[in-house]
Structure 1
Amino acid sequence: MQILNAKLYIPPPRPNLVARPKLIAQLDEGLRLGCKLSLVCAPAGFGKTTLVSAWVHDLRQRVPVAWLSIDEEDNDSQRFAVYVVAALRTLLSASDAENFGAHFLTEIHTPHHISGDVMAQVREQVAILLNDIAALPEKFVLVLDDYYLLNDPRIEQGMVFLLAHQPPQMHLVITSRTTPSLPLARLRARAQLTELNADNLRFTPDEANLFFDQTMGLALSSEHITQLEMRTEGWAAGLQMAALSMQGVADKASFIQTFAGDDHYILDYLLEEVLRRQPEAVQDFMLRTSVLERMCGPLCDAILGMGARELGSKGDISSPLPPVPVSQTTLEYLERANLFIVPLDNKHQWYRYHHLFGELLRHRLEQKMGEAAVMALHQA
């Protein structure tokens, strides 16, 4: 199998990058304390890769760093294993790299005719790789970027086993749009996990000011920056698209007043990166529930049930969802998947959509169903 070396390169820091020393310090502290895993988990466009690449760019002067940029084709246990070994080999000299992981790769490519526990076989194979990792002489960091693209059960089981038996010189960093199927609660309880989420990654007004001035070359008043920071909720991609939309606009104050989820840059990004990637039933759920300012499971069930009874043939929308109380489960899925949903209470029963994402959903809902049908949902 041919290795694409570009997937193993650490992305270079972007020019005029806004420094984020508090977040860098948190990642440094997790490494210093010997945590097994640093997890940077947030929706699309929150700057996960940008932050981690900036961190390791300086870190690798002190600690060796291996990097793997994951893509959709890596959602295959053999291919993923080959690329993990290739990434780890970048830490070694040419002579040492040739032998590292060789037994492991031979084992995963050898057909096994067994009728027993397939996952037990996966654990035995990962144990071979762990022995090679344990023999490495110094501390190192392995970054798995865009981990959300992986859902192969063999990969998930192998990663669970790796974390359980991870050698002390290894520190794993994962960036993901969705919460990975890993024993996070156990790691959290044992103080072996560093976590950064959307709340940590969202830009403060001061950082937004630096971004517009330093990165995008836009001089805005503090009032306008505060307005944009509130509209985007500190979402880095939202700030960038606002800046792109403002280029060449004379009346920036009027633009900021009307900036919303139907801005063409925002619309294209959220449609391509978020909405269209979801199953049709999930898209349907999000569109219909977008009329709610606050939502909980029973309230969403009522909206969906009303949609099934009253709107089924009135609007151009997919088949009505079954009138069963599944909404709480769907809300929990949206939260795990970081689909621009914000919990409003500690029990995670009440939620709302991110402002710009909610506006996009309502815009799409009206396009699909018509204004009258949307008004009927509002009145439900």
Structure 2
Amino acid sequence: MEMEDGRAARPVVAAKLRMPPSNSLPRERLDSLLSGLWSRRLGLVVAPAGSGKTTLLARVAATAGAPVAWYRAESLDGSLDGFLSHIEASLASALGDLPRGWSSIEELARALETWGGDRALLIVDDFQALEGTPAEDAFARLVDYVPGWLVVVAASRSQPTFNLSRLRVSESLLEVGWDDLRFRSWEVERLFRDYYREPLLPVELATLARKTEGWAAGLQLFHLATRGKGPEERRRVLAALDGRSRFLHEYLAGNVLNQLPAEQRRFLVQTCVLGRLSGPICDRFMGASDGEALLRELERRQIFVQPLEEEGDYRYHEVLRSHLEVVLLQQVGEARTRELHRRSASVLEEFGALPEALHSYCRAEDWKSVDRLLGRNGEQLVQGSARWIDSLPTPVLDHDPWLLLASARRHRAEGRWEAAVGAFQRAEQGFGAAEGAAVCRRERQATAAWLNLNPAPAGHPLGALRLLTQRDPLKFSDTWPRMGEAVGPLLAGAASLVAGNLGEAQRSFSACLAAPGASGGIEVGARLGLGLARLLAGDLDAGAEVVSAGEAAEQLGHGCLARLARICWALRLGSAGAEEAASLRFMCERVGDPWGAAFAALAEGWALLEDGDPVVGAPAAALQQAVSWFHRMGAEALEAWALAILSLAGARAGDGRALETALESERLANSRGADGAKLFAYLALARADPARSRQYLALSDAMQSATGLVPPGPPSVAAPAPAPVSLQLFGGFQMLLDGEPVDLHELKPRARTLLRLLAVHAGRPVNRHVIQSALWPEADADAGARNLHVAVSSVRSTLERTSRGERPSLLVREGDAYRLAAGSHAAFDLLAFEHHVAAGRRARMGGDLDRAAASFQAALDCYQGELLPEDGPAEWVLEHRERTRSMAVETAEALAQLQ
């Protein structure tokens, strides 16, 4: 075969163009990350061998909904001709008839201009094979030259050598890294439970996640080694993950170490005894001067070198470190290995890396140095995260009170409450009369209060948090500011959540995050609380905040908070969320975390209600468990919530006991300060007591307006009787009250715009400064405030005249914000659209394709045109309009794939 200029064309290997099958666990976190791919020019996935890069790209290709050209690069393709030949064959196969015989990137670009499609993908796998070749240079120009409808995606084991800064600055680059691909602990659980169909016990999951650090190949190799085997074999294979696994040894040797220059292999083996690495640390340990350069090169090549928070500091991935230690042991023997650990400990201690130094002294069996380090630095060691303690031998933990204190805090962070209390008690005894005993005693009492009905110490943050679960969440609020600038707002946010005031909860959690002392567990708790408050207010986008907070909690070693984040995330996921919550409940029970089990049962019931209770009685069974858990633990404020939601589940299922349960939950909520729970009681009473239904619906609307809560279940889209409030935003704005159109013509233009601006926020509060900036950008602060006050009064008067004063004000003020409180029974096309899209995604994720198709169709039925077209290019509406338009396009594509 010849090219058009007479040169011989390089043969194309068809296997390199063959797209691999997509057969993997769906990971919504990665799907969400990649959802922005179509707005970029280049997507770049860079991670070490075995991280799941090809698996991810195969899923991208399978779900693209557009033509996909696939090319797997090899080092033999480094010439321009070889690269172009394969790219040409791949694109021609995917796009159809194109001009052929390209000899340059310019000819490639001109040929692509002839294609008449909307969008397509070009995926290049194993891009590292082209590093430093003319093909890599050609690829960089290809990204610049191709038409905007073609998105290029590349996967590589190392960072490309061409300049990416221009693409980053122009936001034309989507980057996916090693940490993104890493399986989180809950994804490991789902992988073995849902994909491999061989669920693991919680302790096995924890060990596997810790030893592999979520490395995809390690998880796959463990599955292959234990498939169909019993618990004893699983435990044996788990134990071998410390570097003795034959499968891991062969994989790492063949795919990582053997491909490195001898100098880098030698450096890796010699420095594997260092738990923390930096240029100066490595140079001091090895008596050299090239440590920093070698570490940076290993990082660029993605050789399992992970950067730490301190600039220039790294650590080796646990899988690689364990393997390297076995290699070192084989090379130098046991005695020399212990001596290297002792030397590494001395260097690490010199540089202030105390946890890592302690670990190395233990590996060296230098117990005298262990005692010295703990005696001098014990208090400093127990501050902050104590994940390092998991790697210490048990005899060492029982030997020193400081380590017992760290171990107790570690148990508590993981939700192992009884183990934590026992460790605090042993640490207290170990300190004797020393000052540390008082610290242990306070923490033991605060922790023990979560396991019994004894009074919790109000002056301790953990004790204060326990008290607000019982009654009157705000009772001790005057003591919170004394606990710190960040802890006070954190407790205030938690109390507002328990009381049901979502607006105040969001303000308090935001204040906590802005406080100087917000770090570690306090920051993660505030992020989780803020995301939960937004989720409960119906903001489905807040799920990403909750997931992010859970990931941060897992990184910090707060397993209890990480599980709680997953529980919160499951709330709005319908039947798929209920399955997740049920699995989490089982895990919490096995771990010994009764609080996590109670919240998981509550989330399971809520999630089933979110889907409209497809199985009668299923929500009630889960919610009854939550009621029992909270009652046994004396958490009566939380019990009121579980009981009220249980009454709503019973009323929807036609349970004759729902009326009595709802009245009981109302009484409990009143006596324990859990006002938000009454919303669910009133909704249940409206169903269970038809004679007083209208009265209870009015009460529920008033409660929803006061709290901002959005109860589980689909919003009203249409009903035989007119909805109390009806809002239409798609295709043009229209508002009806009890079926009667609201005459907006008497309102001035900016007052009408105010009503539409509040409506597009779907019941969420909008800060007055945001409103003033959008509607009166030319006015100063005082004039804008006056204009806003006049417009608000005008809108309120119009709405009250239409409703004849028979309903609470629909436009409410909350601090410095305003909110359109349409109520839980409103027919709102925007909310209905978002609900059906979310329901379709949940159903598709859970494998119920028929329900997914029905939900996607219902969403498209709601989308009757552009969002608020009368507001044209106004900045305040553009983001909402583009978001709903994108959702509609994605929904239509998803529906087409299902039909």
Give CA-to-partner distance per residue, 1:130-170, whole Å, 9 cap, x none.
22223322221100011011124312222222223332121
Taking the TM superposition and a 5 Å limit, the aligned residue runs for 1:46-85 are 46-59=51-64, 62-85=65-88
In structure 1, the partner of 2:675 is none
Cα distance between partner residues in 2 of 1:49 and 1:334: 22
Partner SS state of residue 175, structure 1: strand
Describe the shift of the 1:70–1:231 C-alpha distance in structure 2 as closer, same or farther (beyond 3 A).
same
2:25 to 18, 23, 32: 18
In structure 2, the partner of 1:45 is 50
Q: CA deviation at 1:30?
A: 1.9
Q: CA deviation at 1:217?
A: 3.2
Cα distance between partner residues in 2 of 1:40 and 1:155: 18
Give CA-to-partner distance per residue, 1:173-229, whole Å, 9 cap, x none.
001111112322221111111111111111122211122123333221123212211
2:120 to 127, 136, 140: 140
Partner SS state of residue 94, structure 2: coil
Q: CA deviation at 1:246?
A: 2.5
Q: Is 1:7 aligned to residue 10 of structure 2? A: no
The one-letter code sitting in structure 2 at the alignment partner of 1:48 is K
Taking the TM superposition and a 5 Å limit, the aligned residue runs for 1:1-380 are 1-14=10-23, 17-31=24-38, 33=39, 35-59=40-64, 62-93=65-96, 96-97=97-98, 99-100=99-100, 102=101, 104-105=102-103, 125-138=104-117, 139-247=119-227, 248-251=229-232, 252-253=234-235, 255-305=237-287, 323=288, 325-345=289-309, 347=311, 349-380=312-343
Describe the shift of the 1:184–1:227 C-alpha distance in structure 2 as closer, same or farther (beyond 3 A).
same
**Paired residues of 1:178 and 1:337 also in contact (CA < 8 A):** yes
Normalised to the residue count of structure 1, the TM-score between the two structures is: 0.82
Partner SS state of residue 330, structure 1: helix
Partner SS state of residue 121, structure 2: strand
State the structure with bigger RCO (CA 8 A, min sep 6), 1 or 2. Answer: 1
Give CA-to-partner distance per residue, 1:58-114, whole Å, 9 cap, x none.
21xx31110001223223332122111111111233xx24x33x1x23xxxxxxxxx
The one-letter code sitting in structure 2 at the alignment partner of 1:2 is P
**Paired residues of 1:13 and 1:54 also in contact (CA < 8 A):** yes
Normalised to the residue count of structure 2, the TM-score between the two structures is: 0.36
The one-letter code sitting in structure 2 at the alignment partner of 1:303 is F
Partner SS state of residue 91, structure 1: helix
Describe the shift of the 1:152–1:350 C-alpha distance in structure 2 as closer, same or farther (beyond 3 A).
closer
Comparing 74-83 with 271-280, greater Cα deviation is found at: 74-83
The one-letter code sitting in structure 2 at the alignment partner of 1:278 is L
In structure 2, the partner of 1:111 is none
The one-letter code sitting in structure 2 at the alignment partner of 1:357 is L
In structure 1, the partner of 2:580 is none
**Paired residues of 2:47 and 2:177 also in contact (CA < 8 A):** yes
Cα distance between partner residues in 1 of 2:230 and 2:286: 41
Q: CA deviation at 1:47?
A: 0.9
**Paired residues of 1:303 and 1:377 also in contact (CA < 8 A):** no
Cα distance between partner residues in 2 of 1:357 and 1:225: 20
Q: CA deviation at 1:128?
A: 2.4
Cα distance between partner residues in 2 of 1:80 and 1:167: 19
Partner SS state of residue 144, structure 1: strand
The one-letter code sitting in structure 2 at the alignment partner of 1:352 is R
Partner SS state of residue 40, structure 1: strand
Describe the shift of the 1:346–1:74 C-alpha distance in structure 2 as closer, same or farther (beyond 3 A).
farther
**Paired residues of 2:306 and 2:316 also in contact (CA < 8 A):** yes
Identity %: 31
Cα distance between partner residues in 2 of 1:337 and 1:134: 36
Describe the shift of the 1:21–1:250 C-alpha distance in structure 2 as closer, same or farther (beyond 3 A).
closer
Q: CA deviation at 1:267?
A: 0.8
The Cα RMSD (Å) is 1.8
The one-letter code sitting in structure 2 at the alignment partner of 1:3 is V
In structure 2, the partner of 1:114 is none
In structure 1, the partner of 2:878 is none
Partner SS state of residue 24, structure 1: helix
**Paired residues of 1:49 and 1:175 also in contact (CA < 8 A):** yes
Describe the shift of the 1:233–1:165 C-alpha distance in structure 2 as closer, same or farther (beyond 3 A).
same
In structure 2, the partner of 1:108 is none
**Paired residues of 1:290 and 1:358 also in contact (CA < 8 A):** yes
In structure 1, the partner of 2:591 is none
**Paired residues of 2:42 and 2:151 also in contact (CA < 8 A):** yes
**Paired residues of 2:105 and 2:142 also in contact (CA < 8 A):** yes
Segments of 4+ moved more than 6 angstroms: none
The one-letter code sitting in structure 1 at the alignment partner of 2:159 is T
Cα distance between partner residues in 1 of 2:71 and 2:141: 19
Structure 2, unmatched stretches of 5+, are 1-9, 344-899
- Whichever of the two has the greater Rg, that structure is 2
Partner SS state of residue 284, structure 1: helix
Cα distance between partner residues in 2 of 1:257 and 1:271: 20
**Paired residues of 1:285 and 1:304 also in contact (CA < 8 A):** no
Q: CA deviation at 1:303?
A: 2.5
The one-letter code sitting in structure 1 at the alignment partner of 2:265 is Q
Describe the shift of the 1:269–1:333 C-alpha distance in structure 2 as closer, same or farther (beyond 3 A).
same
Comparing 351-360 with 21-30, greater Cα deviation is found at: 21-30
Aligned length: 331
Partner SS state of residue 19, structure 2: coil
In structure 2, the partner of 1:113 is none
Cα distance between partner residues in 1 of 2:67 and 2:298: 36
Partner SS state of residue 171, structure 1: strand
Structure 1, unmatched stretches of 5+, are 106-124, 306-322
Q: CA deviation at 1:346?
A: 5.4
Q: CA deviation at 1:279?
A: 0.6
Cα distance between partner residues in 1 of 2:197 and 2:270: 39
Q: CA deviation at 1:10?
A: 1.3
Cα distance between partner residues in 2 of 1:72 and 1:157: 14
**Paired residues of 1:205 and 1:229 also in contact (CA < 8 A):** yes
Give CA-to-partner distance per residue, 1:205-264, whole Å, 9 cap, x none.
221112212333322112321221121111111111122222434413454345322211
The one-letter code sitting in structure 2 at the alignment partner of 1:268 is E
The one-letter code sitting in structure 2 at the alignment partner of 1:206 is W
Cα distance between partner residues in 2 of 1:30 and 1:2: 32
Cα distance between partner residues in 1 of 2:93 and 2:151: 16
